[in-house]
Structure 1
Amino acid sequence: MTEYGYFLAAEEHGPRELVEQARMAEQAGFTSLWISDHFHPWTGDQGESPFVWSVIGAISEATSLPVQTAVTCPTVRIHPAIIAQAAATSALLNDGFRLGVGSGEALNEHVLGDRWPPAPVRLEMLEEAVTVIRRLLSGEEITHYGKHYTVENARIYSLPDQPVPIDVSAFGPAAVEVAGRIGDGLITMMPDTAAIERFRKSGGGQKPVRGGTKVCYGPNRQEAIRTVRRLWPNIVIPGELAQVLPSPAHFEQAAEQATESALADAVVCGDDPDQHVAALKAYEDAGFDSVYVNQIGPHQQAFFDFYRSKVLPQLAG
């Protein structure tokens, strides 16, 4: 049976708001949490980007829900050895913590002046980074001289009893195959049965598949569509562009042509429970094990009340 979690958008909300949303999600009946890991928001109107590892610590004291990063890039801005330590500590604080990783975006990863490599190199770096993280999470002292990373005499002493699962985010076919080869699960944002099949044939087998989607609940559908246009026009930016643009200002420029019609097609807007249920059922029908929903905009408490009373009960069976 597909499980339903809440997706905390750290690009749109500050740390205290995220912790409060985690509490509300648990009270509404969601069973787990995703949280994004960014240095920048996608656009200036989103306006936030707290340090994810601090927020995870606070959430772990506020709720009993397991948390997963969706997703952390362990390749450029932060060395994989540091990500391994952060994941180990988070797992000690949060029962059920999972590390979600991906090959990242220039938006977040170029900020220290490092070169942003092409996609095949990014995937190569991700694979080596996951190798380093897994070795450190085993508790051994490691020395690693790889193509992209060096680690000398490193050991993580504060470790959970069980290894931290590492799920890999993927969109294109090459990334899906890497996820199947190195991941404990797949993370993707579309109910794409072909991608799931490729993941399973590439080594993923019956490992879990997790997906995320955005909605904009509100009593006035047109107002909700305008809210999406104001806060998340970037969700319709296609292909590789979202991985190579370096700043929120560039995303704003790229999203200028995003029409309300296109955004309404991409995001369920309004207060029709059947539309919300149908959007989530598409993931269930595609074979997803977990789906994480994010509410865009200001109606957070109303959203959780709506899902608690009118949406999640229809998905329980």
Structure 2
Amino acid sequence: MPTIGFHCSHEQIAPSQLLEDVKHAEAAGFTAAMCSDHLAPWSTDQGQSGYAWSWLGAALNATSLPFGVVTAPGQRYHPAITAQAIGTLGEMFPGRFWAALGSGEAVNEHVTGDGWPRKELRDRRLLECADVIRRLLEGEEVSYDGLITVDRAKVWSRPSTRPDLVAAAVSSGTAGRAAGWADGLITVNQQEGGDRKALEAYRAKGGRGQTRLQLHVSWAPSEDEALDIAMSQWRSNVFGSPVAWDTDSVEAFDELGRHVTEDDVKRAVHVSSDLESHAARIRQGLEDGFDAVMVHFVGTDQSAFIDAFGSEVLPQFADAPRGAGPLAGAAGGTTGRSTS
């Protein structure tokens, strides 16, 4: 069976409920999970933002699923702290954890009081962070002076095998550049084959490891209800660069969301009351070459979605070939949307 994973959106659901949801998802047949890592939600209607690293320890302990997180080192997180967090989870749950590294969004990072760097500097900073984190997880003592500064850092508790450091990328350009350092790729569903193009760019530049597609969906028994869910919860998440990365307040996203149309949301979310339509979209992602599809239901009440997909969608993939590579779903690894 290919890996069909469950995305846990901290921006939308309280941590205690989200833990129950991921346990429910495992029981229903999802074979992997991932979560976002945000300080702020994308809208006041979403209204949550639990601390991912605390929650991940509980979620890994409460399930047997391989798990990942999309995170942004370099500003809100010093890379040595990110490396320590990855190392601790990797040591406690060997072979089950990966971390996708992205360049971040101003809505989360502005809280440090530092200026929000322009895009090329964020990309350079991410590359520096990825190198530092990798070296720390391989046991080196690291000092570094660049866009980030590291003074004699060492991660003492870590697994014998370093967890994968995955590139979180939306654009083909970012995906191609990440091929030089990443152990895998994660991107989000896009119109006109943009997700497939990101994958192709990553592979064309020699990108290795597992590749994942994060698929935003909205399902309900009726088409109108499915669309209402998407409009209520995901209208502030339809924007591309530079809006999504440079807007620095929840209130600003609320104002932007007031002008979003139903067609805009349908371009960002697969909205349908037809479970066969959702199965077809997952199948398309697998046929495009992704090793895993990580499904994100954009509503806040996950239970009915989990039951419906568990009974009608996931069984359709039970006899399909598993993705290439070891532990498909456990090695390699947006958004929330810490991608760029």
Instruction: Say if 2:106 and 2:116, in contact at 8 Å, map to a contact too.
Output: yes
What's the TM-score once normalised by structure 2's chain length?
0.89
Instruction: Say if 1:217 and 1:299, in contact at 8 Å, map to a contact too.
Output: no
Question: 5 Å matches for 1:216-227?
Answer: 216-227=218-229
Instruction: Say if 2:90 and 2:162, in contact at 8 Å, map to a contact too.
Output: no
1:55 maps to 55
SS of alignment partner, residue 153 of structure 1: strand
- The count of residues paired between Structure 1 and Structure 2 equals 314
1:85 maps to 84
SS of alignment partner, residue 294 of structure 1: strand
Task: From 272, 279, 285, give the equivalent of 1:277.
Answer: 279
Q: After TM superposition, give the deviation of residue 270 of structure 1 in Å.
A: 4.1
CA distance in structure 2 between the partners assigned to 1:235 and 1:279 by the alignment: 20
Instruction: Say if 1:233 and 1:255, in contact at 8 Å, map to a contact too.
Output: yes
Q: Is 2:14 the partner of 1:14?
A: yes
CA distance in structure 2 between the partners assigned to 1:228 and 1:33 by the alignment: 21
Over 3 Å counting, the alpha-carbon distance change for 1:296 and 1:173 in structure 2 is: closer
- What stretches of structure 1 of length at least 5 have no aligned partner? none
Structure 1: which 4+ aligned runs deviate by more than 4 Å? Answer: none
2:44 maps to 44
1:134 maps to 134
1:252 maps to 254
Instruction: Say if 2:13 and 2:300, in contact at 8 Å, map to a contact too.
Output: no
- What stretches of structure 2 of length at least 5 have no aligned partner? 321-340
Q: After TM superposition, give the deviation of residue 38 of structure 1 in Å.
A: 0.3
Over 3 Å counting, the alpha-carbon distance change for 1:157 and 1:294 in structure 2 is: same
Instruction: Say if 1:11 and 1:42, in contact at 8 Å, map to a contact too.
Output: yes
1:311 maps to 313
2:153 maps to 154
Residue identity over aligned pairs, in percent, reads: 38
Q: After TM superposition, give the deviation of residue 125 of structure 1 in Å.
A: 0.2
Q: Is 2:102 the partner of 1:102?
A: yes
Instruction: Say if 1:99 and 1:166, in contact at 8 Å, map to a contact too.
Output: yes
SS of alignment partner, residue 112 of structure 2: coil
Q: After TM superposition, give the deviation of residue 7 of structure 1 in Å.
A: 0.4
CA distance in structure 2 between the partners assigned to 1:14 and 1:301 by the alignment: 14
Instruction: Say if 1:67 and 1:94, in contact at 8 Å, map to a contact too.
Output: no
1:212 maps to 214
Instruction: Say if 2:12 and 2:300, in contact at 8 Å, map to a contact too.
Output: no
Over 3 Å counting, the alpha-carbon distance change for 1:194 and 1:265 in structure 2 is: closer
Write the deviation string for residues 3-55 of structure 1: whole angstroms up to 9, x where unpaired. 11000000001111111111011101111111000010011110000110000
Q: Is 2:201 the partner of 1:202?
A: no
Q: After TM superposition, give the deviation of residue 163 of structure 1 in Å.
A: 0.7
Q: After TM superposition, give the deviation of residue 265 of structure 1 in Å.
A: 4.3
